[in-house]
Amino acid sequence: MPDDGTNAAVDIITCDACPVLCRIREGRTGACDRYGNVKGALTRMDPFVVTQKVAEKDGQLVAFGSEQWDGSMIKGAPVFVTGIGSGTTYPDYKPAPFIIASEHEGIDMITVVSEGIFSYCGFKVKIDTDRFIGPETASVRVDGEKIGHVTTIEYGSQMLSLGGVHHLTGGSKREGKVTCDTMLRLGDGNPVEMSVDGGVTLTVEAGKPPIIDGNLEERMRVGCGSATIGIFAKQWYGHADEVIVVDDHITGVLSEHQAGRFLGLEPAGIRVRGRKSTPGRYFRVAEPGTGWGGTDITDPLRIIESIDPKTAWSGLRLMMVSTTGEDAAYFVLDNNLKPVAVDMPAPLQVVVDRIGENCEPSLSTVLFMAGAGGSLRAGVTENPVRLTHSVKAALTRVTCGGAPVYVWPGGGITFMVDVTTLPQGAFGSVPTPAIVAPIEFTLRLEDYGAMGGHLDAVRRVEEIADTDRLKSIRWHDTAPWPGAPLAGVGEGS
């Protein structure tokens, strides 16, 4: 007899939800733990998540009135069906698991819901710190395996690119497994400890301050050394003769800076190391590191190359400060024009504290990035390129677990989403290895028909209310309602 994927003698079924094709005995789950054999039927094991606009009273979620909300669907509350727990279109000859018709303010809408199996995906991690975490392009490792690399530094932030198809499938089996496990933990908002070749050990957790070499970061710098002078020059005036703002990128020297000249400060004759850019701005005064202003120094006087006796004078008041205000020192030149450390005057301490006040909290931001390829699009329409065109024309909204995404310009549907905006447990994995993530496409019914959508598979939103594993969560109201038409789209467009 032909193998139809079942074996009644031993109660085994073959799961076709991914290319692994697990054979699952009754009462067991496959390698991904997402699908199981329940009484001989292939069953998605996790809750199927919808989000609803529900009332709130005294901080408690309630159905309209005094009913307590138990997480079931609330009749009459607007519903958006997410891809979390929905199942997948794989193998890709079939429509998406849920194609839902609903109404928004009198407009008939369609939401196509699926869980995408993404090999071409990764995480972009923004770490708010001036600390040096490692050379650009240096490998990032977890448990000794390469899972990504350091990318370009942005203003006040270090950036990582983690995951991606080459680490998932292009290296050793262990590299792929560690990469996939790391991505899953990051997506679910769990802390991950990693190391950077030639750099630091750090712990990253979405929405939390990074831990660098065991130290919890607190502040994102107010600006580079030059910008800090531009902001605070007037507040230093009259209390210091020279201020040097130590920064790995651009160290600022007040008396040479345009801001100091505008205030009428006299040259102080203190020359700092590094390469002079424009007046009062110096590059590479020290090597990158975890010290003052993202440099490798702990003694700020190390960046002073010389003090000109023809210009400087005994009693000259010198303040040195970092771009976060976490490090600051005050000196007075003695009769030999050597800086002598003394207590910081109160007016200057006020400004140091203000620098810190103007620094935003240091955070780790984790963005999931993936490409929705042709096979996934086939679950939406028989002509997948029309979905791409519809997204580019702003006829179709793309969401991830209901959360708003940024769709990159250019070909394909490459999107990026902040993992902290998704419900907990939105991500999964399969052992190919690949990441599983929810994705939804929402558009007007008329536009869905025009693109050749699977109209014969459409169900009303009310029809899923009795789904056994349905879980309703409250919409967070911090983003546009995902079931609404895109703003600015006219009738019949």
The domain spans of the chain are 6-44, 79-115+373-419+434-474, 121-216, 225-357
What's 47-78 look like in SS3?
Answer: CEEEEECCEEECCEEECCCCCECCCCCCCCCC
Query: What is the structure's pLDDT at 374?
Result: 67
Treating both helix axes as pointing N-terminal to C-terminal, what angle do 225-236 and 346-357 enclose, rounded to 10 degrees?
Answer: 140
Query: What is the structure's pLDDT at 70?
Result: 62
Task: State the CB neighbour count (10 A cutoff) for residue 71.
Answer: 12
- Beta strand spans in 207-279 (E): 211-212, 215-216, 242-246, 251-253, 270-272, 275-276
pLDDT by residue for the chain (493 residues), tens only, comes to 344 444 444 589 888 877 888 898 888 888 888 888 888 888 887 888 999 887 665 444 444 444 455 667 777 788 899 999 988 887 777 899 899 999 888 899 999 999 999 999 999 999 999 889 999 999 999 999 999 999 999 998 999 999 999 999 999 999 999 999 999 999 999 999 999 999 999 999 999 999 999 999 999 999 999 999 999 999 999 999 999 999 999 999 999 999 999 999 999 999 999 999 999 999 999 999 889 999 999 999 999 999 999 999 999 999 999 999 999 999 999 999 999 999 999 999 999 999 999 999 999 999 999 999 867 899 999 999 999 999 999 999 999 999 999 999 999 999 999 999 999 889 999 988 999 999 999 999 999 999 999 999 999 988 887 777 888 888 887 888 999 888 654 433 3
Query: What is the structure's pLDDT at 57?
Result: 54
Task: State the CB neighbour count (10 A cutoff) for residue 197.
Answer: 14
Give start and end residues of each alpha helix (H) in 111-263.
165-169, 173-187, 225-236, 258-263
Which two tokens mark 268?
A: 């102080």
Cα torsion 403, 404, 409, 411: sign:
positive
Q: What is the pTM (predicted TM-score) of this model? A: 0.87
Query: What is the structure's pLDDT at 462?
Result: 85
